[in-house]
Structure 1
């Protein structure tokens, strides 16, 4: 990744908590999550399904619906205090300042509207341009995501495109208004390996061209290694480790991060994969102490008694563990 000249923070989140009231009790989906995202940077949120990644980003965008309760010490987006804005003010920021690429392109696109109508609506609604100008801009937008014969395909419907091309269209709609922050939620899900690489290259190309910051949600460590600069690992709604991609891949500090890496296949090895035993905890009644302790192979006396806080180390990495692997290795 190229070093970014502009290190201005465009998204700052501190003490974010999201819970849902259910018939069985309160589900604490996100607990005390904090992170900063700088202009042009790629930050990956990594973790198993249900770890709180998508809920975190939807809370930032203000699109968590239903019986959710959202609290935070700070949520600032490009100089806008999200905690004080009205719903209408937040709506105006979506697309123009922050945008989201959904993981399922087929369900995200309206099947009864042409691609031109769906893309053109963005320009007409946010910029107030004419239908003709919106169509011209939409054609140019399709060209920017490398869809051939854009002048003809602008009138096609979602089912007439392949999965990879539909994903490109979703990306096009997300970048139409040149947002400062792009949230990509599993953007390569259900795509074959070749198309995945093309989508990741496209996102990186557009990020550099537009100067966007990108928050990448994924459980694919290969995508993280290829795309991101920093990583935030989530487990049971909390951040358990943060650091640069190089540092985390070279020597993970939290046992959960190490377990994720051990369970990922590598082309250069034929060793047996080590899956993470057990299942993620029930967020209505999580285990006492560290939520990962029932599945941890490095459990100690404190792990079942005291919940570890996310602490920044001297190496610039943060970890929420009573017995970090780096310190254990140094002692050994």
Structure 2
């Protein structure tokens, strides 16, 4: 960990805002989000559906769909200033420098093309190699993600693979060009527990082998505990707490983080789960002050009047709460 702390940042984002213009009004999907990712580390973005996790990472990659407005104070990726690059330059970074593992393998893969054609096209487009060499590299890539009989299965179509195997193929597509940053968006969704463990182990092995940094998007705290070193908790488009995974799991500062943990099942307890009451707010009409205050058991007189800023402390810890569960010294 100390060795990793000395590593330079491969991805640095500051003040990221993403707004969608809709017929009902402006949707502030992401508001003032900042984070850094060092070489070789795993940072998890955690939160309920709609909290802004996926939109944040797609904004960094430049693949946000819809009528979106994106702005930031800083977005730097492996020495490239993403705020000044044109679309063609950004496209060249995708796959080579930053890549994405989608959560829905069946819809992400082309159903009418064989796996060999889809992997081969990636190699031919980016590296300009021959069809024969692209096929050979594709077979080696399938072997790297632990697909048996790769030389035979290279000609199969997506529907001929199980859900776990399709997820491995998506990982193969994402790591084919050995990117420096891998974004894994809910990589174990809809997979059974045994296959989930295999996919997480595979991602960890490949990260170690290739020296990649990984940005893990998930709502599963068990996946976070198993895989990540640092975590950023998001709510209603904002980061509300950050820190080392061990520190936050041991003593969460923000009531929302504590509520997420209380609502997660644990093997060692038979106590009744405590669901988070209420529902996430509409991003078109956020409540005044802290967006979590209508659902928060610790809300006080400031919570519905003043939006709490993210307070930085030592060891990378921060929180955005007027009445935190754990006080952290200001950095």
CA displacement at 1:156 relative to structure 2: 0.3
Deviations 1:107-150 (A, max 9, x none): 00000000000000111000000000000000000000000000
Residue 40 of structure 1 aligns with which residue?
40
Aligned: 1:174 with 2:137: no
Contact 1:254 1:325 in 2 (8 A): yes
Contact 1:20 1:68 in 2 (8 A): yes
Residue 281 of structure 1 aligns with which residue?
281
Q: Within 1, Cα distance between the matches of 2:262 and 2:190?
A: 23
Residue 318 of structure 2 aligns with which residue?
318
Look up the SS of the partner of 1:44 in the other structure.
strand
Q: Within 2, Cα distance between the matches of 1:231 and 1:214?
A: 12
Aligned: 1:192 with 2:200: no
TM-score between the two structures when normalised by the length of structure 2: 0.97
Contact 1:263 1:276 in 2 (8 A): yes
Aligned: 1:223 with 2:236: no
Residue 254 of structure 1 aligns with which residue?
254
Look up the SS of the partner of 1:302 in the other structure.
coil
Residue 65 of structure 1 aligns with which residue?
65
**Bigger shift: residues 116-125 or 309-318:** 309-318
Residue 55 of structure 2 aligns with which residue?
55
Structure 1, unmatched stretches of 5+, are none
User: Over aligned residue pairs, what C-alpha RMSD do you find?
Assistant: 1.4
TM-score between the two structures when normalised by the length of structure 1: 0.97
CA displacement at 1:264 relative to structure 2: 0.1
Q: Within 2, Cα distance between the matches of 1:5 and 1:257?
A: 24
Q: Within 1, Cα distance between the matches of 2:309 and 2:247?
A: 20
Deviations 1:15-60 (A, max 9, x none): 0000000111100000000000000000000000000000000000
Q: Within 1, Cα distance between the matches of 2:276 and 2:31?
A: 22
CA displacement at 1:313 relative to structure 2: 2.1
Q: Within 1, Cα distance between the matches of 2:297 and 2:244?
A: 24
Distance 1:2 1:183, change over 3 A: farther
Contact 1:6 1:39 in 2 (8 A): no
Q: Within 2, Cα distance between the matches of 1:107 and 1:274?
A: 34
Distance 1:179 1:316, change over 3 A: closer
Distance 1:168 1:315, change over 3 A: closer
Contact 2:243 2:315 in 1 (8 A): no
Distance 1:315 1:143, change over 3 A: closer
1:1-332 matches, cutoff 5 A: 4=4, 7-314=7-314, 316-327=316-327
CA displacement at 1:6 relative to structure 2: 5.9
Contact 1:6 1:40 in 2 (8 A): no
